[in-house]
Amino acid sequence: MNLIFLGPPGAGKGTIAQHIVDDLGIVQISTGDLLRGAVKAGTELGKKAKSYMDSGALVPDELVIGLLKERIAQKDCKKGFILDGFPRTIPQAEELDASGVKIDKVVNFNVPDDVVIRRITGRRTSKATGKIYNVYPECAPHPPKEHPKEDLQQRDDDKEEVVKKRLVHYKEMTAPLIGYYSKKGILVNIDANRALEEIIASAKKALA
Ligand code: AP5
């Protein structure tokens, strides 16, 4: 099963994906994680991508498409994958279609802007496991009490002013994909402004 998770930053795409990949026996591919990996490794691509990411802009299509194609050609993707954060533009979606990859379903997670900003500024990622947590009381999941504080990292692009720019880019460049996949009849909408368990249950039902 090949899936796309669509939605604004902070919609919960990464969190939900982490909760369902094992059940489905498929892998999660986050282009954000791939790009952050390239930045950390100091590759040529990472150096080019960094300034776009830091400012909240999208990385140019040609850089991301190459990275994604390389990743989905790997052996662990044979049984299927969730694309988390790709495609982000119509040209990226067209390129995916042209490469012959069949997408079974696109799940679109809907969340209002104020919730996005709150969730993202409270997000922390475990350096050791990559697990996503949140330090605000109304957000979830919380890191366990005994979790070492120094393991929890805040992303550079999770500051409020950068998040607001990411939202603008989302609306201009990424939201048109809702219509693109709706026309193909493979789009499922999910209200992601609910408790995590409810969203996970809705996503599993939609994909059953
Ligand atoms: P990327 O890493 O993909 O960021 P994003 O799409 O902006 O998505 P996020 O990771 O911020 O949000 P999410 O929906 O996964 O939310 P999460 O589950 O963490 O991209 C980063 C950058 O890389 C981009 O800005 C761009 O520059 C570049 N890039 C990446 N892909 C690209 C592409 N294809 N083309 C061009 N450029 C690209 O949840 C957020 C927080 O909320 C967490 O703390 C979580 O614990 C909490 N939470 C989640 N759901 C709930 C809930 N239901 N209730 C309470 N709390 C919740």
Enter the pTM of the model: 0.95
Which residue from 134, 163, 167 has its CB within 8 A of the most atoms of ligand 1, so it is best to mutate? 134
Cβ < 6 A, ligand 1 pocket: 7, 9-15, 30-32, 35, 52-53, 56-59, 64, 85-86, 88, 92, 119-120, 122-123, 132-134, 139-141, 157, 166, 192, 196, 199
CA of 4 to the centre of ligand 1 (A): 14
Report the nearest atom of ligand 1 relative to the CA of 119. 42
How do residues 10-66 score in pLDDT, each as one tens digit? 999 999 999 999 999 999 999 999 999 999 999 999 999 999 999 999 999 999 999
Told to judge if 166 belongs to the known catalytic residues of this protein, a careful annotator would answer yes
134, 142 in Cβ contact below 8 A? yes
> Nearest Cα to 177, choosing from 101, 79, 68, 103?
103
190, 107 in Cβ contact below 8 A? yes
Told to judge if 155 belongs to the known catalytic residues of this protein, a careful annotator would answer yes
- Coil, strand or helix at 12: coil
Query: What is the pLDDT, as a whole number, of residue 156?
Result: 87
Span 107-136, average pLDDT: 95
CA of 9 to the centre of ligand 1 (A): 4
Structure tokens at 78: 């044979």
76, 184 in Cβ contact below 8 A? no
- The 8-class DSSP code of residue 108 comes to E
Span 89-118, average pLDDT: 96
Told to judge if 13 belongs to the known catalytic residues of this protein, a careful annotator would answer yes
CA of 160 to the centre of ligand 1 (A): 14
The runs of H, that is alpha helices, within 126-172 are 160-169
